[in-house]
Amino acid sequence: MSHAGQWESEPFFIVGTGRSGTTLLQAMLTSHSRLDIPPETKFFQRHDPARSGGDPLPAGRLDVWLTDYFASQDWLDLGLERDEVEPAMRAGDRSARSLFEAILSAWRARSGKPRIGEKSPLHCRCVPRILEVFPQARIIHIFRDPRDVVASMRGMEWTSGSVRDQARNWRKILDEHLRLSADLPASTYTGVRFETLVEQPETELRRLCAFLGESFEPEMLRFHERGSSGFHEREAAWKGGTRRPLSSASIGRYRGQLSPRQIALVERIAGPTMVKLGYQPVSGWRRHHPLWVTMDAASHAVRKTRRNLGA
Residue burial 151-180, b: 16+ Cβ < 10 Å; e: rest: bbbbeeeeeeebbbbbbbbbbebbeebeeb
CATH of span 6-34+114-251:
3.40.50.300
Q: Taking the domains of the chain in order of start, what are their residue ranges?
A: 6-34+114-251
**What integer pLDDT is reported at residue 292 of this predicted model?**
52
Give 252-306 as a DSSP string: TTHHHHS-HHHHHHHHHHHHHHHHHTTPPPSS-TTTS-HHHHHHHHHHHHHHHHH
Q: Report whether 7 contacts 117 (CB < 8 A).
A: no
**What integer pLDDT is reported at residue 197 of this predicted model?**
98
Separation between Cα atoms, residue 39 and residue 32, nearest integer Å: 16
**What integer pLDDT is reported at residue 154 of this predicted model?**
85
Residue 117, strand partner residues: 12
Other Cβ atoms closer than 10 A to 302: 11
**What integer pLDDT is reported at residue 296 of this predicted model?**
54
pLDDT in tens for each of the 311 residues of the chain? 444 444 446 899 999 998 999 999 999 999 999 999 999 999 999 999 999 889 999 999 999 999 999 999 999 999 999 999 999 999 999 999 999 999 999 999 999 999 999 999 999 999 999 999 999 999 999 999 999 999 998 877 666 789 999 999 999 999 999 999 999 999 999 999 999 999 999 999 999 999 999 999 999 999 999 987 777 677 766 678 898 999 999 999 999 999 999 999 999 999 999 999 999 999 875 545 555 555 555 555 555 566 567 65
**What integer pLDDT is reported at residue 140 of this predicted model?**
98
pTM attached to this predicted model: 0.88
